[in-house]
Amino acid sequence: MQIDIDIEDKRWDALGFEDLCARAAAAVAAEFGLDPELCELSVLGCDDARIAELNAEFRGKPSPTNVLSWPAEERGAAAPGQAPAPPETDIFGAITLGDLAIAYETCAREAAEQEKSEADHVMHLLVHGLLHLLGYDHISEEDAVLMEGIEIRILDRMGIVNPYEQ
């Protein structure tokens, strides 16, 4: 998988951020049978201040959040609870997934509050963000059940317990 990683907050380095990104992307690609050699992704490891700026600019919410996603193309499902169509290669033979941004302080705080390791929580959020890039969402109850089930399955294969039961 070609992953363009930009680490703006050096605290991510101690967590092995690049490895976490690679593992999450590989696990999601495997779940959907995507050829990782064709997939492209950008990930920004930032702090709360930066993600608050991005959240304000793109969502009109001037506050920090844990992860933001910008899909390369709209891939939403036709109806609630249905899976979106899988991505296809572009004219260059690549599958461009899109961009993610993840905030260090929010992730660390949430992990502490939920009594889980920062690495496991970040892995969950990266998987969650990648699913958004593939067109999954949690706006409706049906969509949330589908998306959470996929997250749980992927994380379980990685040895990470169900994040919704902790």
Query: Mind listing the pLDDT tens digit for each residue in 110-160?
Result: 999 999 999 999 999 999 999 999 999 999 999 999 999 999 999 999 999
In a domain, 165, yes or no: no
CATH of the domain at 47: 3.40.390.30
User: pLDDT tens digits for 64-102?
Assistant: 999 999 999 998 888 999 999 999 999 999 999 999 999
Whether residue 8 is contained in a domain is answered as yes
Q: Which residues belong to the annotated binding site?
A: 128, 132, 138
Give the total number of structural domains in the chain.
1
The residue segments making up the domain with residue 66 are 2-157
3-41 residue pLDDT tens? 999 999 999 999 999 999 999 999 999 999 999 999 999
Within a domain: residue 163? no
Distance (Å, whole) CA 1 – CA 145: 28
Q: What is the mean pLDDT of residues 43-55?
A: 98
The CA distance from 87 to 9, in Å, is: 31
**For residue 166, what pLDDT is reported?**
65
Q: For the chain, what is the radius of gyration of the CA atoms?
A: 15
pTM over 0.85: yes
Mark the binding-site residues for Zn(2+), compressed into ranges.
Answer: 128, 132, 138
Q: What confidence tier does 165 reach under pLDDT thresholds 50, 70, 90?
A: confident
Residue 133 in domain: yes
Do the domain assignments include residue 164?
Answer: no
Q: Is 51 within the bounds of a domain? A: yes
Strand partners, 3: 41
In a domain, 15, yes or no: yes
Model pLDDT, residue 100 = 98
75 part of a folded domain? yes
Of the candidates 132, 95, 119, 136, the residue with the CA atom closest to the CA atom of residue 3 = 95
